[in-house]
Amino acid sequence: MRLGFIGLGAMGRPMAEHLLRGGHALSLWSRRPEAAAALVEAGAVACDAPAEVARRAEVVFTVVTTSADVAAVALGDAGLIHGFAPRSIHIDMSTIAPGMTRHIAARLAERDVAMLDAPVSGGATGARNATLAIMVGGAAETLARVRPLFDLLGKALVHVGGNGAGQVAKACNQMVMVAAIQACAEAMRLAAASGVDPARVRQALLGGSAGSRVLDVFGGRMVTRDFKAGVEARLHHKDFSILLEEAQRLGCPLPVAGQVGQQLNALMGCGWGHEDSASLQRVLEIAHV
């Protein structure tokens, strides 16, 4: 297929590589041309604007940071909407607000262009290993057309519902995961305050009902005090801003998520947004001091 890809960061670059290695023609646009250099060398074509990518592609993937970023790429003056032919597909794999997804999908539908929101879980490691979990919102018939492309990117895919449903599922994923990171931070803090080795406590917990991937990965970073970003905390902060705003709009009480959101606010206030979310442990340590 003729594909386009926009968003060549830690997640997007390996995903684009998988699509290119899958035998598809790939057109790219990047705000930083150097980010596309290796892919261009491997056979992709660099474009001057998102609209040019859309003109060259049947399906365009986007993996960018915020709702505003996706809106600008899709609907801006040189956006995808100005280049798409009828029956093209926009697959947005960013994590953004469900309402923005529905707005973009409606605008594209006016041009007979379909949209899927397909946020992922698995981080940069999952992107590199093509083991992402993909949560899809949009029409079933649109998903059927591009299912083989998703098979190149992930190991698990669930069609959640209509446009925006994928983003709702991702918000729920972030709630559960980051609340678990906060719980790990509190457990490690309690162990240390009690004079007990946090590493031994974590080892004990991993063998019981508290064992989880979050405790394994993020708890491990807390024990070794390795706060170099695996997942930048600013991204979890952004995701919580989205889900708490959505909850407020719906009148949906999320008491635990609200508390975790405050801890993320404190983390950002400490200047640790570009470090790992395991830094939630350090927020508790500052509170103790």
Shared domain for 112 and 177, answered yes or no, is no
Please give the average pLDDT of every successive group of 10 residues along the chain, which has 289 residues.
95 96 96 91 96 98 96 97 98 97 98 98 93 98 98 97 98 97 98 97 97 96 94 95 95 97 97 97 84
Shared domain for 47 and 179, answered yes or no, is no
Shared domain for 15 and 82, answered yes or no, is yes
Domain holding 284, by residue range, is: 168-288
Tell me how many degrees the CA angle 113-111-72 measures, rounded to the nearest 5: 80
Shared domain for 181 and 255, answered yes or no, is yes
CATH at 23: 3.40.50.720
The predicted pLDDT at position 31 comes to: 87
Shared domain for 19 and 145, answered yes or no, is yes
Q: What are the residues facing 115 on neighbouring strands?
A: 90
Q: Is the pTM of this model over 0.85?
A: yes
The predicted pLDDT at position 33 comes to: 85
Q: In whole angstroms, give the CA distance from residue 92 to residue 6.
A: 10
Q: Tell me the C-alpha to C-alpha distance, in Å, between residue 49 and each of 19, 28, 78, 260.
A: 20, 9, 6, 38
What DSSP designation does 85 have? P
Give yes or no: 155 in active site.
no
The predicted pLDDT at position 230 comes to: 85
CATH at 282: 1.10.1040.10
Shared domain for 93 and 235, answered yes or no, is no
- The structural domain count of the chain equals 2
Shared domain for 14 and 99, answered yes or no, is yes
Q: Tell me the C-alpha to C-alpha distance, in Å, between residue 156 and each of 38, 106, 153, 216, 218.
A: 28, 27, 9, 21, 22
The predicted pLDDT at position 287 comes to: 65
Shared domain for 250 and 148, answered yes or no, is no
Looking at 155, 170, 228, 238, which residue is catalytic?
170
